[in-house]
Amino acid sequence: MARRRSPARLVIALSVAALLAVFLLYTSIAGGGTPSLRPSQLDARDGRVTLAGKVVHGSVRGDAREGGLRFRLRDVEGTASVPVLYRGSVPDLFDEDRDIVVQGTLRNGVFVAQPGTLVTKCPSKYAPAKSGSQDRA
């Protein structure tokens, strides 16, 4: 007589596969990122964080390769700002009054950014037009 396969084996194998898939999904999502903060939320935060804000007009000094690029980053909708030191390649769209995101750590009141983490945000082409600039038909 031929041996019949038990449906219990199939159920167990599928259960193990499902548990493994859930575990892999959980570990890839949970704790995988760094907290994203604004300059007003930075305070005396320890550890690596992602800082998002707007480059203060007139604050950009230095060179990214020689001694580091220095600038101030402020809240997009506020006045709190923090000095930033960045060494590394600078995106072409980096400029004053531009929204950026950068990762690093706060050391002695200066946010020291890690090389290669400076990203500029592109302005949305879907933003509403400013009053007075709308076309009239």
pLDDT (tens digit per residue) in 83-127:
999 998 888 888 998 999 999 998 888 999 999 889 998 766 666
All structural domains of the chain with their residue ranges: 36-120
pLDDT in tens, 48-95: 888 999 999 999 998 877 888 999 999 888 788 999 999 988 888 889
**Which 3-state string (H, E, C) describes 41-75?**
HHCCCCCCEEEEEEECCCCCEEECCCEEEEEEEEC
User: What is the reported pTM?
Assistant: 0.65
Architecture per CATH, 36-120: Beta Barrel (2.40)
- For 127, the enclosing helix (H) or strand (E) is none
For the stretch 8-39, what's the b/e string if a residue is b when 16 or more beta carbons lie within 10 angstroms of its beta carbon?
Answer: eeeeeeeeeeeeeeeeeeeeeeeeeeeeebbb
